[in-house]
């Protein structure tokens, strides 16, 4: 979940989320989600064991309030989030709304019972709502634009917080249950909410009988153990793969969708984990080849919670947080500014696939094809911190991006009895593996391309409040 708290000369709040992968032809939404991904990852505490953000959620959430921004306030939001320079606020809003409608129609959440041995269809749902206090007078043009997204409630009544949190939980399959403090009134005067939920199964699922325990280390030297007894999944197959002197890059497609997960694994302790750029990842995606891989990947599940004020300011979004912010297109009766941006996310990865969620809130208040041969598989052993991206290869949108540094298995996982040491490849798969310590010999080197692997639920909420 992400929450952006905004201060008003009256009062507001917003929530946002996002994720994706680079495509051959980049859409405006893809450009935005891609360009914000690495600034977010680089600015957030790299020492944190696990990180997860949703570029799609954040950019979508701000698109809900951009039509009400004016002057430098609008310019800085648009530039910081790489919205099209020639597009106005309403055009950006409509672009992201069209993306929401497209994903919702292509990947609806199925309520039909799943038969045994059948895989459920992929689900990706994005939902928006804008909650306004009954005392706030919205500009007619803005109210007409958002239409039935608008929910008018009494912010002073604690039941309003219950209603908002219930909406959030329902849109994220209960993965994110609260976005505002329960039991008290809502903050500010307006809360714009965006929720994203993603769940899908792998195209090639892992066999549970091949899951075993092994140690997860702090870096590729494997000198210090971060977590003993991590649950590692194993399979040998052809994967889209690229490598350089610094990273191994691999993609895991999801069944029945163009969305996939991208893994970026550092090759040496001297390589910064977030030592990639959007251009690096794009280069990798463009140079990928179908490569026979022995993959060892830990199961994991975690939540993350951030306040994004400082990172957004470092990206050039200064004025929207200041007393001279101009959101008069939202309401001319109250002067608004951003107070806080809060982001909450969730992800779970196991043998079957991924489930993820995210919430972003902006709070405003009053100012003051595979070869036939089977060569020796190349080892991709994710037993030290790695990056994850979940992206749509068809349109380039980045849904989620993050880091796994301490892979706690999903709740309810049974501890495997199998030891996942290097002998597992011969014992369970009957094959030896190659570590390929000479980068570039088995796969194309890192060039152009951009991938993200994550299954998530996303929720975005914008809360606008009056400035003191």
Structural domains of the chain, count: 2
**398 is a domain residue:** yes
The whole-number pLDDT of residue 407 equals 95
In the chain, how many H helices and how many E strands?
A: 9, 20
Q: Confidence band (pLDDT; 50, 70, 90) for 246?
A: confident
Task: Please state, rounded to an integer, the average pLDDT across all residues of the chain.
Answer: 83
Residues 38 and 135 in one domain: yes
465 in helix, strand or coil? Answer: strand
Among the listed residues 171, 143, 465, the one whose alpha carbon sits nearest the alpha carbon of residue 151: 143
Q: What is the pLDDT of residues 255-301, one digit of tens each?
A: 999 999 999 999 887 667 777 788 888 888 889 999 999 999 999 99
Residues 44 and 163 in one domain: yes
Residues 178 and 285 in one domain: no
Residue 336 has pLDDT above 50, yes or no: yes
Query: Is residue 262 left, alpha or beta, with left meaning phi > 0 and alpha meaning psi from -120 to 50?
Result: beta
**69 is a domain residue:** yes
Which range marks the domain in which residue 166 is found? 3-201+302-368+455-465
Residues 377 and 363 in one domain: no
Residues 259 and 319 in one domain: no
CA distances for 90 relative to 18, 69, 74, angstroms: 20, 10, 11
Residue 90 CB-half CA count within 13 A: 8
Q: pTM (2 decimals)?
A: 0.86
Q: Is there a contact between 248 and 280 (Cβ–Cβ < 8 Å)?
A: no
pLDDT: which is higher, 23 or 405: 405
**448 is a domain residue:** no
Residues 310 and 411 in one domain: no
Residues 314 and 377 in one domain: no
Specify the CATH number for the domain of residue 272. 2.30.39.10
Residue 257 CB-half CA count within 13 A: 31
Q: Is there a contact between 38 and 24 (Cβ–Cβ < 8 Å)?
A: no
Token pair of 365, please?
């208040």
Q: What is the pLDDT of residues 417-465, one digit of tens each?
A: 888 888 888 888 888 888 765 544 444 433 333 323 233 333 344 444 5
Q: Is there a contact between 195 and 221 (Cβ–Cβ < 8 Å)?
A: no
Token pair of 398, please?
């980045």
pLDDT average, residue stretch 381-404? 94
Residue 142 has pLDDT above 90, yes or no: yes
Specify the CATH number for the domain of residue 50. 3.30.497.10
């Amino acid at each position: 979940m992400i929450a952006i708290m905004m201060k008003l000369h009256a009062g507001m709040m917003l929530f946002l989320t996002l994720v994706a992968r680079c495509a051959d032809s980049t859409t405006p939404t893809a450009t935005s989600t891609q360009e914000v991904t690495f600034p977010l990852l680089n600015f957030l505490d790299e020492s944190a064991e696990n990180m997860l953000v949703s570029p799609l959620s954040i950019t979508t959430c701000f698109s809900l309030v951009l039509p009400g921004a004016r002057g430098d306030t609008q310019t800085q939001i648009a530039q910081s989030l790489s919205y099209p320079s020639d597009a106005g606020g309403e055009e950006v809003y409509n672009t992201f709304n069209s993306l929401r409608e497209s994903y919702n129609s292509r990947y609806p959440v199925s309520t039909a019972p799943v038969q045994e041995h059948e895989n459920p269809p992929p689900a990706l749902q994005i939902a928006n709502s804008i909650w306004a206090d009954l005392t706030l007078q919205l500009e007619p043009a803005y109210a007409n634009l958002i239409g039935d997204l608008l929910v008018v409630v009494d912010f002073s009544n604690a039941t309003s917080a219950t209603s908002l949190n219930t909406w959030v939980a329902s849109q994220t399959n209960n993965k994110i249950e609260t976005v505002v403090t329960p039991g008290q009134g809502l903050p500010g005067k307006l809360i714009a909410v965006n929720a994203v939920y993603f769940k899908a199964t792998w195209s090639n699922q892992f066999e549970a009988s091949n899951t075993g325990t092994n140690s997860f280390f702090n870096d590729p030297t494997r000198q210090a153990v971060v977590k003993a007894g991590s649950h590692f999944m194993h399979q040998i197959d052809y994967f889209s793969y690229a490598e350089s002197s610094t990273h191994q890059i691999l993609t895991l497609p999801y069944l029945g969708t163009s969305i996939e997960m991208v893994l970026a694994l550092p090759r040496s302790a001297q390589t910064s984990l977030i030592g990639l750029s959007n251009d690096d990842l794009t280069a990798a995606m463009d140079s990928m080849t179908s490569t026979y891989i022995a993959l060892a990947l830990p199961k994991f599940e975690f939540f993350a919670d951030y306040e994004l004020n400082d990172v957004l300011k470092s990206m050039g979004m200064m004025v929207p947080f200041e007393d001279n912010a101009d959101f008069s297109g939202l309401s001319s009766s109250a002067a608004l500014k951003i107070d806080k941006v809060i982001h909450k996310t969730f992800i779970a990865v196991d043998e079957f696939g991924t489930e993820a969620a995210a919430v972003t809130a902006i709070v405003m208040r009053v100012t003051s094809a595979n070869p036939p041969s089977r060569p020796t598989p190349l080892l991709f052993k994710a037993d030290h911190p790695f990056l994850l991206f979940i992206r749509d290869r068809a349109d380039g949108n980045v849904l989620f991006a993050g880091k796994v540094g301490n892979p706690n298995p999903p709740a309810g996982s049974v501890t495997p009895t199998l030891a996942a040491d290097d002998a597992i490849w011969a014992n369970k798969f009957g094959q030896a593996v190659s570590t390929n310590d000479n980068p570039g010999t088995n796969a194309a080197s890192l060039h152009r391309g951009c991938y993200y692997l994550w299954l998530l639920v996303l929720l975005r909420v914008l809360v606008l409040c009056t400035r003191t």
